[in-house]
Structures are given as C-alpha cells and as structure tokens.
C-alpha cells in the first residue's frame, strides 16, 4: 500500500520541515530516496560541513519512522 512520507532535515536545533513529502510503497523505498537526497545535497554543496544533521523520515501524523544521519 502506498503512503506519503516526509523527509525533515534537522540538527536538533534547526528544523527544515518537508511539507510536500513523497509517495512510497514502503519504508525501504523511502530510505533509498532519503539517502539519494543526502547524496544530491552533498554534491550540490548544500550539506558541506554540516555535521550532526539528520533526515527524519516521518508519516503525515508526524510519527517518526526512521532517523538517517547525514555523513
């Protein structure tokens, strides 16, 4: 079953909330997309030197499903 999940970016003090989300079939697909987003932001220089940041994968009810560190 498809569901809309959201990828918030946070360092514990600052939160960049994803208000759009993406439709995925399962959490594994969401984690692959989150990892891809991290790589893309690093390539573009948006996350250069951003230690301590992580992507919070959550559902529409704001339930946290997974934390993915940005390395």
What does the pLDDT read at residue 52? 82
Strands (E), the chain: 3-10, 15-16, 22-24, 54-59, 64-69
What does the pLDDT read at residue 50? 60
Q: How confident is the model at residue 64 (pLDDT cuts 50, 70, 90)?
A: very high
Burial of residue 38 (number of CB atoms within 10 Å: 0-12, 13-18, 19+): buried
Question: pTM of the prediction?
Answer: 0.82
pLDDT in tens, 12-60: 888 999 999 999 999 999 999 988 888 888 888 776 556 788 999 999 9
How many domains does one find in the chain?
1
CB 68 within 8 A of CB 31: yes
Domain around 33: 3-69
Q: How far apart are the first and last CA of the chain?
A: 31
């Amino acid at each position: 079953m498809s569901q809309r999940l959201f990828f918030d970016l946070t360092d514990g003090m600052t939160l960049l909330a994803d208000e759009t989300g993406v439709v995925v079939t399962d959490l594994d697909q969401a984690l692959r997309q989150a990892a891809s987003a991290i790589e893309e932001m690093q390539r573009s220089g948006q996350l250069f030197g951003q230690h301590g940041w992580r992507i919070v994968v959550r559902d529409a009810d704001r339930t946290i499903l997974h934390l993915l560190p940005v390395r």
